[in-house]
Amino acid sequence: MTSSLPITIFIVEDNLWYGELLEYKLAQNPDYTVRRFTTAKDCLANLGEQPDLITLDYSLPDGKGDQVFRQIKERLPDVAVIIISGQEDIRTAIGLLRQGAYDYLVKDEETADRLWNAVGNVGKQLALRQENARLREQIGRKYDPKRAILGSSQQMRHVFSLIEKAARTNITVSISGETGTGKELVAKAIHFQSERSNHAFVAINVAAIPRELLESELFGHEKGAFTGAVNRRIGRFEEAHKGTLFLDEIAELDLSLQAKLLRVLQEREVNRLGGTSTIPFDARLMVATHRDLAQEVQQGRFREDLYYRLLGLPIVLPPLRERGQDVLLLAEAFLQEFCTQNNLPNSRLSPDAQQLLLQYPFPGNIRELKAVIELAAVLTDGEIIQAQALSLRRQSAGMTVSETDEAPQDESLRAQTANIVQRYLDAYKGNILQVAAKLQIGKSTIYRMVQNNEVRIR
């Protein structure tokens, strides 16, 4: 058993012979750097070396084990401390373990072996912790607004400044913008730049879950709360504890759930369905919608009191057609990314293709642009992407999309989605799994479209 991580271990033991025995055992692993001290004073004086683990003799000549333990933990809260005691004293052991000691070993002929195992486990935990920190940093970098959210238009520069402000505080954030403008991306960027970034980012699309299931999805339920509730289930509010809860398509929440949400926000407490105890709610809330919430309030579809609770810091994402040259910046970035990921030669957009992109209104916004560019890269043989390779809906070139006219927009989006899916299906020879992965949509969505004759496998 060897650990892949180098670990620094302090052995604090006044019995020279016993200390040497432990050192001899642990030194068998070349990844362990072992330092030995015979007094508490020496150990405390060297804590600046930031050991990962300390084995501490409970009765040292210059200090009682529990006091020394506390002094160590005050200075190095994360260090693993294994207490080694001359006699079994369950009460002391329990007390120390409760205060955060890693283990309590009694001195006997097997101590060195048990210590060896315990140190191995500490090594594994350290490796996991480092891996976690690395992944967190990676995710943080991925959602760093300066890298992940592309754009240099004035509108987007304003959005970046709001993201920074939101990340510095705990304020509720309400993000609005047409579909595909990057609402979820902005929410993630705020979360991963905020001090809650070490905790969960929990996203739920209110419109995507049937009403009967939504309540338990949000608030959880106890076993037996309703027919079919065979187990206790933790709701999304609880899952987001200390992190961020992102409620997408908030305008679609029905009035009775709006009332429940309001109560949770006022009382900062959640009740699982069928439960009697209350669970504190401590998460930053972000909401998003493609609708005009103020208008929803005026028309009696959204509670006014909830609206004011949720408004917080409003961030309005402009549609892509209002971001000027950003469309080309985004197109080039998506093209490069797609070519690199798929081992395709790096392609460029012809001047005509650029012109067409600048004129097109992009009802599906950045999501549509990304799909259009990726498909063009697949369909193009040379290194220059011509205007003809861009699968834009012919009838929309040059037209503007009305933001208030919901139904036609939804309708045209459907047709446009089908159009894109169809082209991908053709390009990938009807391989639904591949198309679903490329377009980042569920394969069931594609199956449904096939069933409804919206697309065909040719």
149 is a site residue for ligand ATP (CB under 6 A): yes
Nearer Cβ to ligand ATP, position 248 or 252? Answer: 248
Q: What is the DSSP letter of 346?
A: P
What are phi and psi for residue 9, nearest 5 degrees?
A: -120, 135
Q: Does 370 bind ligand ATP (CB under 6 A)?
A: yes
Contact set for ligand ATP, span 272-291 (CB under 6 A): 290
Identify whether the C-beta of residue 273 lies closer than 8 Å to the C-beta of residue 231: no
Amino acid at residue number 241: H
Query: Which token pair is 84?
Result: 């080694």
Whether the Cβ atoms of residue 156 and residue 365 lie closer than 8 Å to each other: no
Structure tokens at 422: 């169809």
Q: Does 179 bind ligand ATP (CB under 6 A)?
A: yes
Task: Tell me: does residue 252 bind ligand ATP (CB under 6 A).
Answer: no
Site membership for ligand ATP, residue 145 (CB under 6 A) = no
Tell me if residue 233 falls in helix, strand or coil. strand
- DSSP for 278-292 reads EEE---EEEEEESS-
- Per CB under 6 A, the segment of 97-105, 181-189, 385-393, 429-437 that binds ligand ATP is 181-189
Stretch that binds ligand ATP, among 39-47, 178-186, 208-216, 420-428 (CB under 6 A): 178-186
Interatomic CA distance for residues 72 and 67, integer angstroms: 9
| Nearest partner of 8 among 17, 18, 248, 29, judged by Cα | 29
Torsions phi, psi for 404 (to 5 deg)? -85, -20
Q: Does 374 bind ligand ATP (CB under 6 A)?
A: no
Query: Going by DSSP bridges, is the β-strand pair 53-57/80-85 parallel, antiparallel, or unpaired?
Result: parallel
Q: Does 366 bind ligand ATP (CB under 6 A)?
A: yes
Report the residue number, 163 or 270, with the smaller CB distance to ligand ATP. Answer: 163
Does residue 185 belong to the site contacting ligand ATP (CB under 6 A)?
A: yes
Interface stretch with ligand ATP, choices 89-97, 146-154, 271-279, 355-363 (CB under 6 A):
146-154
To the nearest whole angstrom, how small is the minimum distance from the Cβ of residue 302 to ligand ATP? 17
# of chain residues touching ligand ATP (CB under 6 A): 17
* Of the candidate residues 89, 184, 332, 454, the single one contacting ligand ATP (CB under 6 A): 184
Nearer to ligand ATP, 19 or 182 (CB): 182
Q: Does 207 bind ligand ATP (CB under 6 A)?
A: no
In the bound state with ligand ATP, the residue whose beta carbon lies nearer, of 152 and 388, is: 152
Instruction: Please say whether the beta carbons of 331 and 349 come within 8 A.
Output: yes
DSSP 401-440: --SS-HHHHHHHHHHHHHHHHHHHHHHTTT-HHHHHHHHT
Applying CB under 6 A, the residues found at the interface with ligand ATP are 149-151, 177, 179-185, 248, 290, 330, 366-367, 370
